[in-house]
Structure 1
Amino acid sequence: MDLQRRLTETVSGDVSFDAGTRALYTMDASNYRQVPVGVVRPATVDDVVAAVAAARAHDVPVVPRGGGTSLAGNSTGGGLVLDLTRLRGFTIDPVARTARVEPGVVLDDLRAAAAEHGLTFGPDPSTHSRCTLGGMIGNNSCGAHSVAWGTTLDNVVELSVLTYDGTRMTVGRDHDLPPELRKLVDDNLAVLRTEFGRLGRQVSGYALHHLLPEHGRDLAKALVGTEGTCVTVLGATVRLVAVPKERVLLVLGFADDVAAADTVPAILPHRPLTVESMDERIIALRAARNPERPPALPDGGAWLFVEVDGVAAAQAIADVVAAPHQVLTDAVAQRALWRLREEGSGISTRMADGSEAWPGWEDTAVPPDRLGAYLRELRALLEKHGLRGITYGHFGEGCIHIRIDFDLVHDDGRAVFRRFLEEGADLVARHGGSLSGEHGDGQVRAELLPRMYSPSAMAMFARFKEFWDPKGRMNPGMVVRPYRIDENLRFVPLSSVRTAFSYPHDNGDFGQAMRRCVGVAKCRNHSGSVMCPSFQVTGDERHSTRGRSRLLYEMLAGDVITDGWRSTEVRDALDLCLSCKGCRSDCPVNVDMATYKAEFLHHHYKRRLRPASHYSMGWLPLWLRLAARMPRVANAALSGRMAPLVKRMGGIAKERALPVVAPEPFTRWLSRNPGSGRPVVLWPDTFTNYFTPSAGIAAVTVLRAAGFNPVLPKGSVCCGLTWVSTGQLSVARKVMRRSLRVLTPHLDAGTPIVGLEPSCLSALKTDVPELTGDDRTVSNTFTLAGFLQTYAPEWTPPPVDREALMQVHCHQHATLGYAAETELLAKAGVDMTSVPSGCCGLAGNFGFERDHYEVSQALAERALLPAVRTAAEDAVVIADGFSCRTQVAHGTDRTAVHLAEVLAAGLTEEGTR
């Protein structure tokens, strides 16, 4: 292709026209989907100029794109996508309180640097950890603090822009307006002064009132929020604001969201920094999907989160409102609540009954004093069309977020979608509001703009765009000459496939599971999340949960990725997935990429030769059972002269030291050392049994001290995890069913099962029921701490009185939780610090595999290994996962131990006193 050749010759960044990359960019976080011609990821501003020149030479549309978190479809398009996320340079002028930023700067990176000077960038969307300044400028993003600091538009000083015809310019306030734009203003003074700037969240349309003389004829502000339809932003100068001295969070409880909305006008005179709402249904949904306990809240069915500067201001508002409330000054407690609020858009995409909900009426805004009345009428409109939705959002600015259970798959459902949006637009207009209060018009609202603006205003939009983009090649179909609201919907027919897993949360439908990802891109975080460890190293979209979900979706759609389960694009993207299950909890919509990867590998390698590691580590339980018969011989082979050959044949990284097989398996030891007391099954997982029986022995010591008698299942058992993680699901199912038969007497008797290896316990709670249909192990299996908390709450652990550094296993974080471990250690007097969230990098077979060693080590060096190396010499390093302990041993001179070993050592010391 001539365009591709020219781009390759003139652009130093990545130029991709392959099916896999194009598939990654078909969607953003909206309901819309378009397949791009190609994707350019510029490495420099000059690359952007060269890419636009190439597009112009071949008359191809240009679609500028940031983090791809837009909810209106405004960063999807069928032209050449410019992914500007690599342009991340910025400088800060603390004296002028400004920053000069490139378009790919992630908001949190800017805020972290500004914080060193006591400053911040005011607008803070819930996607602050991955959204870019360029995207925020394109959409005029707002966030929670626009009550105090305004929208992005209010904080832009200058823009450096590039037009489709190749012109570069810097625009700002009090610059000379081109004659065409001056005439546009002079011809429409009355319209500009009456229809524009009516409320702070009037994001729909173009902000042309900033071209008025009383607003300084500010061309930069007029271009903010134009959604890439006029220019490509190359850089910006933005205003910074002082960080409040004492952030205090006041949480107010109300009967429902309408009651909360009615109270907002009484709060605003106190000049809060933010007034955000939260609905009890979002709290309940998160609690049902995440093992981490939700924060406590005042009584109510809806809440307002009111941030102020100082306790006195919080108390003054509480006195006026007279509602159940909490005043939070602790930053950690505040952050926990803000995390709930920020995840609302993802959490609310699945109703309690599992039905799907979608954007489309995502961020309308009305004057705050009209908010309660608007919500009442909105409820009535939803009921009229048989729709449901959970409202929350920026109540201080009258901006409502809601996901609605539209049926966008079938024709009659899409007809309801259209009718609701049309009537909803009329409702917003009656209340003097804006169709968009934050995310722009994109494909979902632009067609409705005539219901909000007069014909004269609409004609102004068209003239403004034509000035910048006379050929209509900049992000066409948005704002001016728009696509229809029911055009380009992402819900294309998907192939019906038979699956090994049951997907109970998606009605057994793999296609519905693939629709689960809505693109909010929390997985693109570079820190602060267990999810997507490989993305944190590579920064490549295809290594994010969203990217992998997109590829699987496109695999089922079949028009970009055409070879189904045999797809090499999907296989390669999944190759660096560590199967950590972090997304199962950290993703707001609980995408479970570990399960999807196992499903894909199961089909991809069906009746085909597999990678060597699938045979060596996938069948590890069998090999270890054989090795345990001759441990000396096995260890000689694994660590002696034969070790390089064993590694090479097994697809194992040459840098890895292979674990040592224990002289005696844990099961044999326990059989020789019976006890008495109330029986509890101690699950003999492969890793504890053959590699670290010391952890099992320690657990026996602790359980017996608490009055229990650990017993073994009466037969060989295995959770099947190693076969699951390598996609050998037929074998995994057979292994699981055999284990369930062995466990049946214990399960029928209600005997609890304690697991020591988090990954195996997680498999018993998730993989086993979802692969066999037998869920008897879900409610009857516990971690050691969880068991003691449930069955022996009065038991007092021995005094340990030590500092401890704890690495929480990814599977425990995702499916089990670790609150019980924290409480038990606190009872023992342990001063515990958790390693900053992140995967250890080994993740079962992943870090042992030949092609994964570098990524594995890079992950370990992000958090775990530095934390271990800097821990106090007498601090104990606790890691319940065998992989985590192994990574510590390979990367430091410290030895990590299981929680059971810490408590058992305490019992021994106590007994010698």
Structure 2
Amino acid sequence: MAITPASDGLARALREELRRAVRGEVRFGAAERTVYSHDASNYRHLPLGVVKPADADDVRATLALCREFGVPLVPRGAGTSVGGQALGPGAVVLDFRRHVDRVLEVDPETRTARVEPGAVLDDLQAAARPYGLRFGPDPSTHSRCTLGGMIGNDSCGAHSVAWGRTSDNLHSLDLLLADGTELTVTGPLSPAERARLRERPGREGELHRALQDLAAANLGTLRQGMPDLPRRTSGYALDALLPERGHDLARAYTGSEGSLALLLGATVRLVEAPAARALVIAGYPDETAAADAVPALLPLRPLTVEGMAADLIAALLAAGRRPPALDRLPAGECWLFLEVGGADEPEALGIARELAQAVRRERSAAVSVVLDPGEQRQLWAVREAGAGIVTRLPGGKEAWPGWEDSAVPVERLGGYLRELRALLGRHRLHGVPYGHFGEGCIHMRLDFPLTERGRLPEFREFMVEAADLVVAHGGSLSGEHGDGQARSELLPRMYPAEVIDLFGRFKRIWDPANLLNPGVLVDPRPLDADLRFTGRDLPLALPYPQDGGSLLKAVHRCVGVARCVDTKSGVMCPSYMVTAEERHSTRGRARLLAEMLRGAVPGSDGAVTDGWHSEEVREALDLCLSCKGCAADCPVHVDMATYKSEFLYQHYRHRPRPASHYSMGWLPLTLRAAALAPHLAGRLLGSPHSSAVLKRLGGIDSRRRLPDLPGETFERWFRHRVRRARRGAAPVLLWPDTFSNLLDPEPAKAAVEVLEHLGFAVRLPQGPVCCGLTWVSTGQLGVARQVMRRSLRALPPGLPVIGLEPSCTAALREELPRLIGRAAGDVPGRVRTLAEFLDQSGVELPALRPPLQGLTQVHCHQHAVLGTAADRRIEARIGLANQVPDSGCCGLAGNFGFERGHYEVSVAAAERVLLPAVRAAGPDTVLLSDGFSCRTQIAQLAGGRRAIHLAELLRRAIREQSRPERTFR
């Protein structure tokens, strides 16, 4: 929304009052409003501001001030809502994640836990695990979804067929009403308890009397007008107020999408977790056959009955690498994932075999039983990534939420799917169905024409017909994700007018002033309004072939499933893991870029309107390490490193650049010049005074130690060495990257010795070469292209190209064709890492004597672009018992960690996992890292420990083999 002078004054006044009253963070700037203007839905609403409360008192103070100023308030967890219920135009968004996020207590005796609303589900599971307990509901976003968000949406997950929805696992809720009243509501009550609550003084008694009277006056409507099915999450759960259900206020509140009261805390019930699990996978010819098979399997009480069609696998393979565990899928075009549990592995296996036999008897389906926990995790990861994977259909078309999670009685699921497929055909729409077949709930994203404003009536027409179809099957518009703006308008098609009227009265009893999340469930906004897809492309320098040449389409890949805000594992997103600021997440940066392109449309209401000169976007991208973790780990492969290069190129085009872009971006040429007089350059760098001056002029943080220069470059050593290659040896080309040639030649020297020992003849390019990465990462794309083209002229044809530095090797494989297109020729396909080359060549490798323990820091670009499977195989062959921490980026990331203003983030990223692991490693543990940046970070921050390249480890093994009397330490 464009802020008018009046509302601008209101915003300023409210902001200042909040800053005085709240200990947490108060953010009303354009960047913060932008990144909170989206969730995982199709909608965009600019809030007035964002509050990140430090504690429950901050929540109370924020509510009081919003009530005083008449400003709506929207509670928010991880922001993964697909219906638009975590948004509010002109509202204050209350983000519970950062501080009001504790698991307060786990009581194994009562099997309960007390949590704050911002507590993440995985944290609750970790706290309950030592007692053999867990929280039953487990949505696919379990690594980042909050308990408050799960209660707001009545979340379910794969195991709800066994353990129920969130509403089935609640003991009590601590609530804050819009007028400031606090009360605790519980599950089913006896008549005497209900009578006592009616007599409570003040607003609490008034609330209980009004709710009990509402139910008593409408018993017939509530009993007959509310569909009875396990996955009904559309509308308010008013039937929970019926006397035969104990006037269950906790259940009635759950699924209200933040529209009734704010949640301050909850006591949840826990279930016993099976000690061992097995996974039965049943293959069927299509999804309707799989759906038809489900009712006969439910009496066998599996823990999960999840459906996944071949389209989902095709979309996964079109987007990235094939998980090896897919080989365990039996023949078929749709699969049911049937998990069972037991007290131990033999018991779980026995139950799984009985279930597999039942599957074969019922439908003659193909069946596999997977017992290995690692393979089970891989297969479940495919299912959990579904919401992201299917945003791009196998053919590359974009698909969107909207008709996301409809649910029908399970015995009608097959028929519903057949008719839904026919409806899609009539509307020329396509989607990939998957979901909770055991409870009749189907997830499906469709290629709605949402980016074509002239075709939006087609979107509305389909949504209305789809709503009528699911109601005709006795189903619910939503079976898991709630209504929000996407489906609230359709509720009158599911419920009779009397129930819709009761929804309004129910909302007003709780929130008479309509302060909390207005426009959700009651008095909804149109389902085809406020769409987030407005925008146009500005002139671009990079091709974006997977997105039709459009940066707008590229940033719209982000649908908000928020894998990037999981701070516990993976490479993505190192700066967010440190700052926990939404604008520093991959999702937040994508939102800012989308807002920048929205602002390029004349007359738009974009909050970011300076185009490529936007300071909000520049600031958010400044802490992007260009690690490429998102390109691999994001389910939809948002490639923020590429978008950052584009932005930097456009932002600084014909403008002065930061000093570090010259000192670090042009480092290959600077180092070549220094190599002409290495001793003089070494003295300059070694002098405290001259080093300080160089760092100040170069935009380098004063706390960073500049790398030492070698006395001799690798290329010079190579020219003067004694050649040991045997006659007739197969030639290979070793790429002398800037780091291996001019900063740390030992890995390259070691690689030459290893390759020659194994029977290869090593050659170098016929002149200086560079992959151009330092210019790419600083957005100097024109120079990068020139450098790449010149380097290609120095390469002889046909030879395999072995890269030692992962970032340079990845650049040759990925950036080279991206920047110079067909001029790259066959070079990207000839590029191999040393491990890949040795693994593919099948040569016999020396074994370490004795076998050693290793600790490896994987370079981010290797993780994202090259992969590490060959490295692990090589290490196993030579006898290295290796540990690879899930540590993400080392934090140095080429130029990033050296640049002024990045030191704290760089060090904090290293301190998350990498440095503690290095310090804990024994003195005999070999520290391995192929990346120069990673080795530098370890050398500078890990108290003198030194990491080596795989080539150096192989060289040591070869030398040990020839000197058996020595022991490697």
What TM-score results when the alignment is normalised by the length of structure 2? 0.91
Distance in 2 of aligned mates of 1:858 and 1:331 = 32
Distance in 2 of aligned mates of 1:496 and 1:113 = 47
For residue 83 of structure 1, what is the aligned residue in structure 2?
Answer: 95
1:759 to 791, 807, 816: 807
Q: Please say which of residues 697-706 and 503-512 is displaced more in the overlay.
A: 697-706
Q: Which runs of 5+ in 1 are unaligned?
A: none
Q: Secondary structure at the match of 1:885?
A: helix
1:793 to 805, 823, 842: 842
Q: Report how far residue 328 of structure 1 moved.
A: 2.6
Q: Report how far residue 712 of structure 1 moved.
A: 1.2
Q: Report how far residue 326 of structure 1 moved.
A: 2.9
For residue 111 of structure 1, what is the aligned residue in structure 2?
Answer: 125
1:50 to 54, 57, 61: 61
Q: Please say which of residues 498-507 and 298-307 is displaced more in the overlay.
A: 298-307
| CA 604–262 in structure 1, closer or farther in 2 if over 3 Å, else same | same
| CA 763–355 in structure 1, closer or farther in 2 if over 3 Å, else same | same
Is 1:659 paired with 2:659? no
Q: Report how far residue 290 of structure 1 moved.
A: 3.1
Q: Report how far residue 521 of structure 1 moved.
A: 0.5
Q: Secondary structure at the match of 1:400?
A: strand
2:686 to 609, 615, 639: 639
Q: Secondary structure at the match of 1:861?
A: helix
For residue 432 of structure 1, what is the aligned residue in structure 2?
Answer: 474
For residue 407 of structure 2, what is the aligned residue in structure 1?
Answer: 365
Please say if residues 355 and 405 of structure 1, whose CA atoms lie closer than 8 Å, have aligned partners that are also in contact.
Answer: yes
Q: Secondary structure at the match of 2:305?
A: strand
For residue 297 of structure 1, what is the aligned residue in structure 2?
Answer: 328
Q: Report how far residue 798 of structure 1 moved.
A: 4.2
Superposed CA offset, 1:239-261 (max 9, x none) = 11111122222222222322222
Superposed CA offset, 1:304-360 (max 9, x none) = 221111222211110011233332333222222211111111011012332111111
For residue 15 of structure 2, what is the aligned residue in structure 1?
Answer: 4
Is 1:188 paired with 2:240? no
Q: Report how far residue 291 of structure 1 moved.
A: 4.2
Q: Report how far residue 783 of structure 1 moved.
A: 0.8
Superposed CA offset, 1:692-719 (max 9, x none) = 2111122122222333222111122111
Is 1:327 paired with 2:369? yes
For residue 517 of structure 2, what is the aligned residue in structure 1?
Answer: 475
Q: Secondary structure at the match of 1:403?
A: coil
* 1:340-379 matches, cutoff 5 A: 340-379=382-421
| CA 742–697 in structure 1, closer or farther in 2 if over 3 Å, else same | same
For residue 684 of structure 1, what is the aligned residue in structure 2?
Answer: 736
The one-letter code matched in structure 2 to 1:753 is V
For residue 703 of structure 1, what is the aligned residue in structure 2?
Answer: 755
Q: Secondary structure at the match of 1:680?
A: strand
* 1:129-208 matches, cutoff 5 A: 129-173=143-187, 174=189, 175=194, 176=197, 178-196=208-226, 198-208=228-238
Q: Report how far residue 536 of structure 1 moved.
A: 0.9
Distance in 1 of aligned mates of 2:533 and 2:903 = 38
Please say if residues 751 and 952 of structure 2, whose CA atoms lie closer than 8 Å, have aligned partners that are also in contact.
Answer: yes
| CA 846–511 in structure 1, closer or farther in 2 if over 3 Å, else same | same
Distance in 1 of aligned mates of 2:334 and 2:760 = 44
Q: Report how far residue 799 of structure 1 moved.
A: 4.5
Please say if residues 26 and 76 of structure 1, whose CA atoms lie closer than 8 Å, have aligned partners that are also in contact.
Answer: yes
For residue 918 of structure 2, what is the aligned residue in structure 1?
Answer: 868
Q: Please say which of residues 732-741 and 439-448 is displaced more in the overlay.
A: 732-741
Distance in 1 of aligned mates of 2:718 and 2:410 = 68
Q: Report how far residue 797 of structure 1 moved.
A: 4.7
Superposed CA offset, 1:86-144 (max 9, x none) = 31122222222111211111111111111122211111111111111111111111111
Distance in 2 of aligned mates of 1:873 and 1:324 = 52
2:111 to 73, 92, 97: 97
The one-letter code matched in structure 1 to 2:490 is L
Q: Secondary structure at the match of 1:88?
A: coil
For residue 352 of structure 2, what is the aligned residue in structure 1?
Answer: 314
For residue 45 of structure 2, what is the aligned residue in structure 1?
Answer: 34
Distance in 2 of aligned mates of 1:94 and 1:218 = 24
For residue 881 of structure 1, what is the aligned residue in structure 2?
Answer: 931
For residue 784 of structure 2, what is the aligned residue in structure 1?
Answer: 732
1:769 to 793, 810, 817: 817
Distance in 2 of aligned mates of 1:867 and 1:45 = 36
Q: Report how far residue 841 of structure 1 moved.
A: 1.0
Distance in 2 of aligned mates of 1:530 and 1:479 = 38
| CA 191–778 in structure 1, closer or farther in 2 if over 3 Å, else same | farther
Distance in 2 of aligned mates of 1:794 and 1:378 = 55
Please say if residues 290 and 814 of structure 1, whose CA atoms lie closer than 8 Å, have aligned partners that are also in contact.
Answer: no
Q: Please say which of residues 896-905 and 160-169 is displaced more in the overlay.
A: 160-169
Distance in 1 of aligned mates of 2:859 and 2:320 = 15
Q: Please say which of residues 866-875 and 48-57 is displaced more in the overlay.
A: 866-875
| CA 143–654 in structure 1, closer or farther in 2 if over 3 Å, else same | same
For residue 833 of structure 2, what is the aligned residue in structure 1?
Answer: 783
Distance in 2 of aligned mates of 1:611 and 1:482 = 48
For residue 7 of structure 2, what is the aligned residue in structure 1?
Answer: none
Please say if residues 39 and 83 of structure 1, whose CA atoms lie closer than 8 Å, have aligned partners that are also in contact.
Answer: yes
Is 1:890 paired with 2:940? yes
For residue 597 of structure 2, what is the aligned residue in structure 1?
Answer: 556
For residue 8 of structure 2, what is the aligned residue in structure 1?
Answer: none
Q: Report how far residue 530 of structure 1 moved.
A: 0.6
Superposed CA offset, 1:556-583 (max 9, x none) = 1112011111111111111111110000
The one-letter code matched in structure 2 to 1:340 is V
Q: Report how far residue 212 of structure 1 moved.
A: 1.1
The one-letter code matched in structure 1 to 2:179 is D
Q: Report how far residue 444 of structure 1 moved.
A: 0.7
Distance in 2 of aligned mates of 1:250 and 1:794 = 39
Is 1:395 paired with 2:426? no
Q: Secondary structure at the match of 2:419?
A: helix
Q: Please say which of residues 656-665 and 339-348 is displaced more in the overlay.
A: 656-665
For residue 615 of structure 2, what is the aligned residue in structure 1?
Answer: 568
Q: Report how far residue 197 of structure 1 moved.
A: 5.6
Q: Please say which of residues 792-801 and 598-607 is displaced more in the overlay.
A: 792-801
Please say if residues 323 and 378 of structure 2, whose CA atoms lie closer than 8 Å, have aligned partners that are also in contact.
Answer: no
Q: Report how far residue 796 of structure 1 moved.
A: 4.0
Distance in 1 of aligned mates of 2:934 and 2:293 = 50
Q: Secondary structure at the match of 1:274?
A: coil
Distance in 1 of aligned mates of 2:49 and 2:324 = 43
Superposed CA offset, 1:14-67 (max 9, x none) = 111111110111110000111111111111111111111111112111111111
Q: Report how far residue 435 of structure 1 moved.
A: 0.8
Distance in 1 of aligned mates of 2:412 and 2:839 = 50
Please say if residues 523 and 546 of structure 1, whose CA atoms lie closer than 8 Å, have aligned partners that are also in contact.
Answer: yes
Is 1:383 paired with 2:425? yes
For residue 312 of structure 2, what is the aligned residue in structure 1?
Answer: 282
Q: Secondary structure at the match of 2:268?
A: strand
For residue 344 of structure 2, what is the aligned residue in structure 1?
Answer: none
Over the residues paired in the alignment, what is the CA RMSD in angstroms? Answer: 1.6
Distance in 1 of aligned mates of 2:320 and 2:948 = 27
Superposed CA offset, 1:730-753 (max 9, x none) = 21121112222333x42xxx3221
Is 1:544 paired with 2:585? yes
Please say if residues 547 and 554 of structure 2, whose CA atoms lie closer than 8 Å, have aligned partners that are also in contact.
Answer: yes
Distance in 2 of aligned mates of 1:231 and 1:245 = 38
Q: Secondary structure at the match of 2:569?
A: coil
For residue 854 of structure 2, what is the aligned residue in structure 1?
Answer: 804
For residue 16 of structure 1, what is the aligned residue in structure 2?
Answer: 27
| Matched positions, count | 907
Is 1:905 paired with 2:936? no
* 1:477-556 matches, cutoff 5 A: 477-492=519-534, 494-556=535-597
